[in-house]
Amino acid sequence: METYQVIALIGVIIFIYFIFFKNKNSAQKEINSLSEIEYTGSSTMTFDDVAGNHEAKQSLLELVDFIKNPQKYSKFNVRMPKGILLYGEPGTGKTLMAKALAGEAGVPFYAVSGSDFVQVYAGLGSGRIRNLFRKAKKSGKSVIFIDEIDAIGKKRAAGNIKGSDEGDRTLNALLTEMSGFAEDSGTVVVAATNRIDTLDEALLRPGRFDRQIEIMLPDKNARKEIIQLYLKKKKAEDVDIDELADLTVYFSGAMIENLINEAALTAIRENSDRITGSHIKKAYLDVLAGVEKKDFDNERQKTVTSYHEAGHTFVSRHLLPENKIIRVSVIPTSKGAGGYTLSTPEAEEVITKKKIRNHMCVLMAGRVAEEVFLGRENITAGAQNDIEKVTSLAIEYVAKYGMNDEAFINYQILSDKLRIPLTSVESSVKKLTSEIYEEVKKIVEENKETIEKIARLLIDREVIYQDELDDLIQKYS
């Protein structure tokens, strides 16, 4: 080989070597930079800024004293919870509670999301966990808040003892860090989840997230407090707080805040300098049902929808008279509904077999009315959403609550433990829905005249309200 060829070959090797190590160093720097995530440094919120959930606030106030005076508890050899798990429906105020805890205690607030630790790089998630706790320890007293902890805390696969999976490594790092910090350090780890049933048992044992607090949907009194809290921040007058609290049954705090914000936007569009009750009612309809289309002129669709909604409306008043029917409309909305029956149910503390069956009856009544009045061959796809809800309720009735007459069994657990398909559930659900469909059909056929009158009124007026509906039912029933 010629000398110049040797020199050229050596040059190529050096070039490749240089490029390889440059890329390696760049990749390492990228991984190191990814392991650093930003944290919220403080919280100015207090429990006065969070309405409702008084029991949860009382439980957290005890921790405020612990964070401020940890020595008072260690002197009597009292172990306070290292971890607090806040669980409940979305929008109930779990994050607000964590911020208020840090704000009341006056300590740094390190807030992250579980998804921040889900990474493709091996070891990056566990590295971020260690980095988070290292920063918190440097601050001394602090609150570490991990939102959506189910992203990293899901139950580990059975038989996976190697711990080689990246998700397992991240979870193991969290478990180790929580076991590692001193009980009298004044550091509290707070986590939030909507799905406590999916969390690994090691997270829930004493010494980890050993205090679990349910953040519930607000009851009527709590809804009144939340409404008043948000209305204080906006200019409002002539708003009936009691009526609005009744309308917002099953609303979370976030949904109430969104409703009042939409009402404020409605007031702005109307050039009003105050939010009034009419603005809130309009926003309520828009939030739940969608904005109604102004140019609606399809007689065939109106007729079908009128019979469909008349079925829902009558069966609801017949089987669930405690529910308030606010408005029945056959005008299509921006949310894709051809029409709607808007009702506010009573807050149910106890779920009974009869209530579930009655709810399924109401949901089926629209399709049944189409069949009875228009013929089986002319039923429409308008019941799609009703069918989905009925199927979901029927599965819970049979598989979750054990309310079918055949067996006192939770079929989901049976399937998980024995690894068998839920064929028996399928047949039970089909049988249940068929029985209820026939029950609804009988109700509709026995009250055809009244339902016909409701449908005709809807065709003529497009919208009817509770008082008109009650008068009509009373007259023809």
Backbone φ and ψ of 395, nearest 5°: -65, -45
Q: Which of 166, 177, 225, 309 is catalytic?
A: 309
Which range, of 187-196, 299-308, 415-424, 455-464, averages the lowest pLDDT?
415-424
Q: How many CB atoms are located within 10 Å of the residue 436 CB? A: 22
pLDDT at 185 over 70: no
Q: Left (φ > 0), alpha (ψ -120 to 50) or beta: where does 336 sit?
A: left
Catalytic site residue 309? yes
Q: Do residues 433 and 394 touch, judged by C-beta distance below 8 A?
A: yes
pLDDT at 403 over 80: yes
User: So what's the pLDDT on residue 159?
Assistant: 47
Q: Do residues 130 and 169 touch, judged by C-beta distance below 8 A?
A: no
pLDDT at 15 over 80: no
> What contacts 205, CB < 8 A, 6 or more positions away?
none
Residue 450 — pLDDT band, cuts 50, 70, 90?
very high
pLDDT at 374 over 90: yes
Instruction: For residue range 217-232, list pLDDT tens digits in order.
Output: 888 899 999 999 899 8
User: So what's the pLDDT on residue 365?
Assistant: 95
User: Domain boundaries in the chain?
Assistant: 1-34, 47-157+164-214, 220-289, 299-476
Q: Describe the strand order of the beta sheet including 187-193 as a list of residue ranges.
A: 109-113, 142-147, 187-193, 83-87, 211-214
CA dist 207 and 193 (Å) reads 19
User: So what's the pLDDT on residue 4?
Assistant: 54
- Which range of 125-139, 229-243, 326-340 scores highest in mean pLDDT? It is 229-243
User: So what's the pLDDT on residue 268?
Assistant: 92
Indicate the average pLDDT of the chain.
Answer: 81
Q: Is the dihedral of CA 462, 463, 469, 471 positive or negative?
A: negative
pLDDT at 105 over 70: yes
| CB-side neighbour CA atoms (13 Å) of 171 | 21
Which range, of 27-31, 143-147, 275-279, averages the lowest pLDDT?
27-31
Distances (CA, A) of 229 to 132, 260, 473: 34, 11, 40
Percent of the chain predicted with pLDDT > 70: 81
User: So what's the pLDDT on residue 180?
Assistant: 64
Q: Do residues 350 and 329 touch, judged by C-beta distance below 8 A?
A: no
Instruction: For residue range 227-276, list pLDDT tens digits in order.
Output: 998 998 888 888 889 989 988 988 999 999 999 999 999 999 999 988 99
Q: Describe the strand order of the beta sheet including 324-329 as a list of residue ranges.
A: 340-344, 324-329, 463-465
Two tokens at 262? 């939409």
Backbone φ and ψ of 84, nearest 5°: -115, 125
User: So what's the pLDDT on residue 161?
Assistant: 45
User: So what's the pLDDT on residue 29?
Assistant: 43
Q: How many residues does the chain have?
A: 477
pLDDT at 62 over 50: yes
Q: Do residues 310 and 451 touch, judged by C-beta distance below 8 A?
A: yes
Residue 173 — pLDDT band, cuts 50, 70, 90?
confident
pLDDT at 141 over 60: yes
Amino acid at the residue 239: V
Q: How many CB atoms are located within 10 Å of the residue 201 CB? A: 9
User: So what's the pLDDT on residue 316?
Assistant: 93
What class, spelled out in words, does domain 299-476 have in CATH?
mainly alpha
pLDDT at 299 over 50: yes
Residue 162 — pLDDT band, cuts 50, 70, 90?
very low
Two tokens at 230? 């948000």
CATH of 47-157+164-214, one of 3.40.50.300, 3.40.630.30, 3.40.190.10, 3.40.220.10: 3.40.50.300
Q: Do residues 52 and 92 touch, judged by C-beta distance below 8 A?
A: no
User: So what's the pLDDT on residue 123?
Assistant: 57
CA dist 321 and 469 (Å) reads 12
CA dist 367 and 311 (Å) reads 8
Residue 17 — pLDDT band, cuts 50, 70, 90?
low
Q: Is the domain defined by 220-289 classed in CATH 1.10.8.60? A: yes
User: So what's the pLDDT on residue 25?
Assistant: 44
Q: Judge if 47-157+164-214 and 220-289 fold alike in CATH terms.
A: no
More confident call, 404 vs 390:
390
